[in-house]
Amino acid sequence: MIELFSSETPNTRKISIMLEEVGFDFKITKIDLSKGEQFKTQFRKISPFSKTPVIIDHENGKSVFESGAILIYLGEKSGKFYDVKDRNLINQWLMAQMGNVGPMIGQHHQFHHFNPGKSKFGEEKFFDQAKRIYGDLDQRLGQTKYLAGENYTIADIATWPWISRHEWHDIGLKKYKNLSKWYIEIAKREAVIKGFDFLKNGSIIPQL
């Protein structure tokens, strides 16, 4: 059984979706970031930067932090969505999510959605970065069905939850035809619908 230490964020949704996709038994342990629970000594033993998500695999007692590393761990353990022959490509698109898509769109959330009016520079910089990412992903998805080629992989599972916050972005997902098509197709997957609502509080995937 896998224990997922979680907050209701795109980074955690990567893992709840992956767990649903591979069909592993899992339980959720909620970490309330607003109460500072991520800084508790016990949690920091498995999360050295005090961040969610983290998993403990109770089959072997191993813990894994960093969502990209968790996806790789679950991909290797299940033998799904991380095919050995495609790993070079999957790793590139996964690392691009971890190093670019998540951090840039995350800052766009901070400046544009949560703190408008506080920094013109921050708002403009990260709006521009988020728009560029939409354009770059759209271009890629005009060439291949999924980010790492013709198969749905952990690179898509890592990236999709960030696009699922498109209503906060004010970029207009609809204008990006290839990205929209990819987004809607993945949004229809049963595991994605279940994994999106991992807290079972009725969270519904935003449509276009």
Ligand X SMILES: N[C@@H](CCC(=O)N[C@@H](CS)C(=O)NCC(=O)O)C(=O)O
**What span, in angstroms and rounded, lies between the C-alpha atoms of 147 and 31?**
31
Label the pairing between strands 2-6 and 26-30: parallel
Strand partners, 204: none
Nearer to ligand X, 7 or 144 (CB): 7
CB of 156 to ligand X, least distance (A): 16
Nearer to ligand X, 68 or 171 (CB): 68
CB of 142 to ligand X, least distance (A): 27
Nearer to ligand X, 12 or 180 (CB): 12
Nearer to ligand X, 33 or 89 (CB): 33
The total of other beta-carbon atoms located within 10 Å of residue 205's CB is 16
Helix axes 67-78, 87-96, angle to 10 degrees: 150
CB of 68 to ligand X, least distance (A): 6
Tokens of 149: 């080629």
CB of 39 to ligand X, least distance (A): 7
Cα angle for residues 92, 93, 97 (degrees, 5° grid):
115
Residues that bind ligand X (CB under 6 A): 7, 9, 11, 33, 38, 50-53, 66-67
CB-CB contact of 31 with 52 (8 Å) = yes
Nearer to ligand X, 159 or 180 (CB): 159
CB of 42 to ligand X, least distance (A): 15
